[in-house]
Structure 1
Amino acid sequence: MNVGIIGANGYSGVELIRLLQQHPYAQLNYLASHSSSGKLISEQYPHLQGVVEDRIEELDINEAASKIELMFFATPSGISKDLIPAFLDKGITCIDLSGDFRLKDGALYEKWYKHTQASNENLQKAAYGLPEIFRDEIVGSTLIANPGCYPTATLLGLAPALENGWISPENIVVDGKSGVSGAGRKASLGTHFGEINENMKAYKLGSHQHIPEIEQSISALSGTLHPITFSTHLVPMTRGIMCTMYADLEVKTTTEKLLKQYEEYYQNNFFVRIRPLDTWPATKEVLGSNYCDIGIKVEERTKKLIIVSVIDNVVKGAAGQAVQNLNVLNGWPEETGLTVTPVYP
């Protein structure tokens, strides 16, 4: 399959390039970026010298549609919603890594993202691309809304417990921590070395744009809609997300029993690894990979379930999950092109 990337000069775009280079069934045939058009991708990223020497183009929809069958949109939010309809009209399948099509309620998108919404027709058409939970909706779709990085880690951790009624959907607390790459490549005061080195800080408390996305999926899993408490923190590392979730137990159970049930829930999902009793995942242990590692603890004293979920935010939280969705759409094994051993240390 011939594929292309719009927004190829960003972190998610260049990670897509890395992963697609080793994909046996996908041929990268088009790179576009408004801010970097005319340059070789290896000029933007010298580590690609001798590996990928393609020139980044100014987007021409007709030219792009003549070269590819599927387009990845690794663009900031607010851009893909205006571009994707033209590609859909030309029969091009679209996988959007931004937040433009994740929320079914366009008014919520405008409130949280501060952009005008996409058409309601396309919002309802878009499949939410979290394969481990919504695989059946992805199959046969022509528009995939790739999940956000925080929602991916959070929802994979919560899904078995919510779907089976082991926890209450009310009063869920999510404590999220992310590496600096989640902010993108563009320089900013809050993410340069002097601000983040040897430092940790909270940001967007109660106002992060991923909150309604998480609540939407929690509602789909539990059948009820409740607000969550979601706090985010920037930590001095390049890649990685750790989400620690706290929820009230609805059943009397043990850590050992729930661990077995989590293992059964994810037994046919290559990229979710459940940690053994009393061991907890770390971000370094999924670095550069598409894995999500999960550890759980039944806190009998407080009658709460504690869930720790880690991912690489640029892979499973963005580009890797997009390639996983490519595989689902084509009926290829989901791990195709993604069997990368995590980089350690």
Structure 2
Amino acid sequence: MTKKIAIIGASGYTGAELIRLISTHPGLEIAALAANSKAGMRMAQVFPFLRHLDLPDLVTVDQIDFSQIDLAFCALPHKTSQEVIRELPKSLKIVDLSADFRLRDPEVYKQWYGNDHAAVEMQGEAVYGLTEFYRDEIKSARLVAGTGCNAATGQFTLRPLIEAGVIGLDDIILDMKCAVSGAGRSLKENLLHAELSEGYNAYAVGGKHRHLGEFDQEFSKLAGREVKIQFTPHLLPVNRGILSTGYVSGDAQEVYDTMVAAYAGEPFIQVLPFGEVPSTHDVRGSNFVHIGVTGDRIAGRAIVVTVLDNLCKGSSGQALQNANLMLGLDETAGLMGAALFP
């Protein structure tokens, strides 16, 4: 039986990515699309690359009959998302792509995002949406909180190693290169072509990036003690992709063997042969993650390079993967397309 889907925030990049993926999904039908600022418009006007699809027109959230919807994706900015989700029917399954339900502690959320949480009573209900590590909880969840794209990349790099105890916990460094689409579709001066192209810069330097809240929460929970990593993201003048280089202390072969064992059988995660490292080209437009491990010239050090597409596996693809589980569908449905190359 086909499941009916609503997408709230359909006029942003992640909303458009959800539509692209769901359009070939054998078990889902897009029944409603909401985007308050563009309500009344056709999707072909907002995103001409979707003009071949027979899609409902954009409406406001209050115009959607949620009694006819099996699951809603909420692709709104943080703060707005919690306010909208709080008012949705309590029986509705929801996958939230914002930051609003990722952090379990309301005070930690306030620390990183600067505002009190408007739906504190729902934070305890939300399941963290890193599919490969929360699969069983996601299957029975009503509300799933999609991870940050940087946070997902870093966790694919480090979670198995922290859990297995094969690396030191006090000297972990993540150097991350991020595509500009991760900043969303809103107009920002620093993201204008003349400001961004032909350049490359670090941002949120010195522990200011909000996804550190997710790293602190998840890594400390895994280790059973406080774990704080050094993390610096860099903005690249490219549309899609994240490349994370992790520097860790530990035996490189043991690090590699741990990764191979941890991801054996995972449909979307490919661990490359030892010594090979991936490129963002390898995963562009796909739901796949490629991971490479190599040793360093310094004994007892290893380097882990991880790539994913920030809009797909880092956000909308991950959201669809979670929705498949929540609806009792094949986890890989709609997501097995190969990367776009070149």
One fold, TM greater than 0.5?
yes
Structure 1 counterpart of 2:141: 141
Alpha carbons of 1:50 and 1:18: their partners in 2 closer, same or farther (altered >3 Å)? same
Residue by residue, what CA displacement relative to the aligned partner does 1:259-288 show, whole Å, maximum 9, x if unpaired? 333222111210010011221011010000
Check if 1:304 corresponds to 2:272. no
For the 8 Å contact 2:149–2:315, the answer to whether it is kept is: yes
CA–CA distance in 1 between the matches of 2:76 and 2:239? Answer: 20
For the 8 Å contact 2:97–2:146, the answer to whether it is kept is: yes
CA–CA distance in 2 between the matches of 1:208 and 1:19? Answer: 29
Structure 1 counterpart of 2:104: 104
Residue by residue, what CA displacement relative to the aligned partner does 1:49-81 show, whole Å, maximum 9, x if unpaired? 1214421001116x3313311110000111111
CA–CA distance in 2 between the matches of 1:183 and 1:150? Answer: 11
For the 8 Å contact 1:160–1:265, the answer to whether it is kept is: yes
For the 8 Å contact 1:88–1:142, the answer to whether it is kept is: no
CA–CA distance in 2 between the matches of 1:331 and 1:93? Answer: 12
**More deviation, 118-127/225-234:** 118-127
Q: Which amino acid aligns with 1:16?
A: L
Structure 1 counterpart of 2:318: 321
Task: Give 1:301 deviation, angstroms.
Answer: 1.8
Structure 2 counterpart of 1:207: 208
**More deviation, 95-104/239-248:** 239-248
For the 8 Å contact 2:252–2:301, the answer to whether it is kept is: no
For the 8 Å contact 1:31–1:55, the answer to whether it is kept is: yes
Residue by residue, what CA displacement relative to the aligned partner does 1:322-342 show, whole Å, maximum 9, x if unpaired? 000011213322211101100
Structure 1 counterpart of 2:61: 59
Counterpart of 2:124 in 1: which secondary structure?
helix
CA–CA distance in 2 between the matches of 1:118 and 1:22? Answer: 36
Structure 2 counterpart of 1:177: 177
CA–CA distance in 1 between the matches of 2:194 and 2:65? Answer: 41
Structure 2 counterpart of 1:194: 194
Instruction: Pick the aligned partner of 1:333 from 326, 330, 333.
Output: 330
Structure 2 counterpart of 1:4: 6
Task: Give 1:45 deviation, angstroms.
Answer: 0.6
CA–CA distance in 1 between the matches of 2:36 and 2:234? Answer: 31
CA–CA distance in 2 between the matches of 1:52 and 1:302? Answer: 58
* Structure 1 alignment gaps of length 5 or more: none
For the 8 Å contact 1:106–1:118, the answer to whether it is kept is: no
CA–CA distance in 1 between the matches of 2:274 and 2:54? Answer: 44
For the 8 Å contact 2:82–2:100, the answer to whether it is kept is: yes
Q: TM-score, normalised by structure 2?
A: 0.95
CA–CA distance in 2 between the matches of 1:245 and 1:254? Answer: 12
Structure 1 counterpart of 2:258: 261
Check if 1:289 corresponds to 2:289. no
CA–CA distance in 2 between the matches of 1:64 and 1:298? Answer: 55
CA–CA distance in 1 between the matches of 2:49 and 2:335? Answer: 20
Instruction: Pick the aligned partner of 1:42 from 41, 44, 48.
Output: 44
**More deviation, 9-18/267-276:** 267-276
For the 8 Å contact 1:139–1:329, the answer to whether it is kept is: yes
Task: Give 1:254 deviation, angstroms.
Answer: 4.2
Q: Which amino acid aligns with 1:204?
A: A
For the 8 Å contact 1:175–1:230, the answer to whether it is kept is: yes
Counterpart of 2:313 in 1: which secondary structure?
helix
CA–CA distance in 1 between the matches of 2:70 and 2:322? Answer: 14
CA–CA distance in 2 between the matches of 1:193 and 1:102? Answer: 32
How do 1:106-255 residues align onto structure 2 when only pairs under 5 Å count? Answer: 106-205=106-205, 206-249=207-250, 253-255=251-253
Q: Percent identity?
A: 35
For the 8 Å contact 2:252–2:302, the answer to whether it is kept is: no
CA–CA distance in 1 between the matches of 2:331 and 2:66? Answer: 25
Counterpart of 2:302 in 1: which secondary structure?
strand
Task: Give 1:105 deviation, angstroms.
Answer: 1.0
For the 8 Å contact 2:215–2:228, the answer to whether it is kept is: no
* Structure 2 alignment gaps of length 5 or more: none
Q: Which amino acid aligns with 2:293?
A: I
Alpha carbons of 1:260 and 1:331: their partners in 2 closer, same or farther (altered >3 Å)? farther
Q: Which amino acid aligns with 2:135?
A: R
CA–CA distance in 2 between the matches of 1:16 and 1:269? Answer: 22
CA–CA distance in 2 between the matches of 1:335 and 1:26? Answer: 13
Task: Give 1:300 deviation, angstroms.
Answer: 6.1
Alpha carbons of 1:169 and 1:52: their partners in 2 closer, same or farther (altered >3 Å)? farther
CA–CA distance in 2 between the matches of 1:158 and 1:118? Answer: 32
CA-atom RMSD in angstroms: 1.4
CA–CA distance in 1 between the matches of 2:199 and 2:125? Answer: 42
For the 8 Å contact 1:169–1:224, the answer to whether it is kept is: no
CA–CA distance in 1 between the matches of 2:52 and 2:152? Answer: 34
**More deviation, 295-304/74-83:** 295-304
Counterpart of 2:86 in 1: which secondary structure?
helix
